[in-house]
Structure 1
């Protein structure tokens, strides 16, 4: 049974075509999609088509609507703020294009994590990067960094929700500084503890 709310980075089991696709191929497709949509998409219509393509992929993967919405909902306030700023600077059409492209990219990344286990993804990355090891690339360190980044995304989102909930409980109004400061402090503290834990285990020696 799939939970109603699935944090970003959690795998939802399935046997669909998207689930069975190779992890490396899906990761490469994600990179190509993000780069292509960022570079070549310049109108709201094309940006909407990109988002529609991702939604079709969600349907093919049989991801429940509630789960799909739960993946993108946490970033919507940030996208709206960026869109409003872009509207003020350049107008409504570039703002709509940027918001739709970013939303499509976030949704595509969420689809990857929902249909691919972290183990599969990391093993695929390690195999793909292994030829570069002869040129001095620290493949193990790069793979570990990517793995930690993916795993920490839901933790960071939880921090944002906790800060917002705390401000709402106190009846305080929204302030960028008052919101950003505790999030930044908690993130730095978490990064320091993680670094100490990795150092204690001899990672990077």
Structure 2
């Protein structure tokens, strides 16, 4: 996919880390297909032993990629917290074996996803998505538009997170950090303004025109 619609971009959430490892040189389509197959395998194969094996594979992929740990752990922290909470509930409801399996499976999948995004430029990932979306041409949806929409969505996540943090800091400075309206209203206004600005920019570039 080429043209003025999508400028070069390193990676979602700034996770891409340049390198020359085997995983960096692998085609983006192959890495996405492997990630999808891993997700299916994690769901299909049951038991704590298989979960630990999947985690070992994810750790091996991290070592092969030679990506600094702080790059991948940036996206792992929320997954670890979620895995701990889910694991605690599963331990209470179904026992430690199920808890271990579910928690480790989740961490393994998130780590594999982090390795894929850390070794693949987002432009390459979006190109794969555009190729997969080619059949949508028959119903009037340009695949480039689908890829662009995903790219805009991924770019927007850190922007919205930054806006929320800045709004929280501003409310805390005024002593209103415990007041929901002081957090939600300014953040909502800024997010809507950002959405409108993004829409205007896309419209100015001719998105959706014949």
TM-score by length of 1: 0.73
Partner of 1:127: 131
Equivalent position to 1:18, from 20, 23, 34: 23
Partner of 2:108: 104
Distance in 1 (CA, whole Å) between partners of 2:45 and 2:149 is 30
Q: CA deviation at 1:49?
A: 0.7
Partner of 1:195: 195
With over 3 angstroms needed to count, the CA separation of the structure-2 counterparts of 1:7 and 1:137, relative to structure 1, is closer
Distance in 1 (CA, whole Å) between partners of 2:93 and 2:112 is 27
Question: SS of the counterpart of 1:53?
Answer: helix
Distance in 1 (CA, whole Å) between partners of 2:12 and 2:99 is 28
**C-alpha distance after superposition, 1:51-93 (max 9, x if no partner):** 1101111111111233333331233222211221222222221
- Of 122-131 and 107-116, more deviation after overlay is shown by 122-131
Partner of 2:145: 141
With over 3 angstroms needed to count, the CA separation of the structure-2 counterparts of 1:127 and 1:76, relative to structure 1, is same
With over 3 angstroms needed to count, the CA separation of the structure-2 counterparts of 1:33 and 1:122, relative to structure 1, is same
Partner of 2:61: 57
1:130 and 1:139 in contact (8 A); partners too:
yes
With over 3 angstroms needed to count, the CA separation of the structure-2 counterparts of 1:164 and 1:199, relative to structure 1, is closer
1:44 and 1:94 in contact (8 A); partners too:
yes
With over 3 angstroms needed to count, the CA separation of the structure-2 counterparts of 1:21 and 1:49, relative to structure 1, is same
Q: CA deviation at 1:19?
A: 0.3
1:23 and 1:116 in contact (8 A); partners too:
yes
Partner of 2:76: 72
User: Larger Cα Rg: Structure 1 or Structure 2?
Assistant: 2
TM-score by length of 2: 0.72
2:126 and 2:147 in contact (8 A); partners too:
yes
Q: CA deviation at 1:127?
A: 2.2
Number of equivalenced pairs: 191
Any stretches of 5+ residues in structure 2 without a counterpart? 1-10
Distance in 1 (CA, whole Å) between partners of 2:50 and 2:145 is 37
Partner of 2:33: 28
